Chains A and B, each alone.
Chain A
């Protein structure tokens, strides 16, 4: 199984409306994610997509893979801040099996060849 690739998929576009819905659902009210003025004062061009939303989307992308029975651990590193409305594609590949028998999957979310989020998941296989 090592080397097996997940079918890549486009993450749901996190535009202003989706981010607003996420903030309402999650309870997050960080103004960097809802107030363009605040975001600009912090040096960003636009409001930022919450990292927690990106992680949630990547987890769902993995969870929808028929070979994934359960996710045990997911780590995401946010390589760069992601501006609202940035289209992202999620890809993944099985890279190893850990000593406990869990399968390790390397995940990326990015635009073209630019990786914006780097993840590693430990899963059990179906």
Chain B
């Protein structure tokens, strides 16, 4: 089940190994308000965490700024977001997250798509985000990798 298919204008960002880390799941579930009635042990929206590591974030920002004419740092503001999973994620499992970017368009809106696959190549799910890029103080520093 895909959130939406990539458009013909999508540019690949890369494929990144990701994992469902137990400690991170626990912390994430707590702050997301997960209850004991939850239908899956891994919160449904957990895959969005995989976009946060510096190497992935920097790759996304570089891809967005490439050929876009946007100089300096920008920060993303979510406009909409879709997650689709054909099966529940499993704690401790490794996956591959393949990302692509489309845009930004003249309104500085960019679309990020991600395909989640299991180690055996099985499609597990997808992500799609539409982000508005805003320029503001602090944006330049935020777009640099942390040491």
Contact = CB atoms under 8 A, between A and B. Distances in A.
B79 interface: yes
B35 A60 contact: yes
A70 B42 CA distance: 12
Interface residues on B, range: 35 or more
A25 to B, nearest CB: 4
Given A12-B33, A63-B40, A27 B53 contact: yes
Nearest to B82: A75
A52 B24 CA distance: 15
A21 interface: yes
Interface residues of A, number: 47
A45 interface: no
A60 B36 CA distance: 10
A6 interface: no
A29 B77 CA distance: 13
Given A52-B78, A56-B46, A57-B32, 9 more contacts: A25-B30, A26-B48, A31-B139, A37-B138, A38-B138, A60-B35, A69-B39, A73-B3, A76-B81
Q: Is the interface of B mostly helix, strand, loop or mixed?
A: mixed
A75 B81 contact: yes
Nearest to A78: B78
Interface of A: 11-12, 18, 21-22, 24-32, 35, 37-38, 41-43, 48, 50-53, 55-57, 59-61, 63-64, 66, 68-78, 81, 122
6 contacts: A29-B142, A31-B139, A63-B38, A63-B43, A68-B39, A74-B84
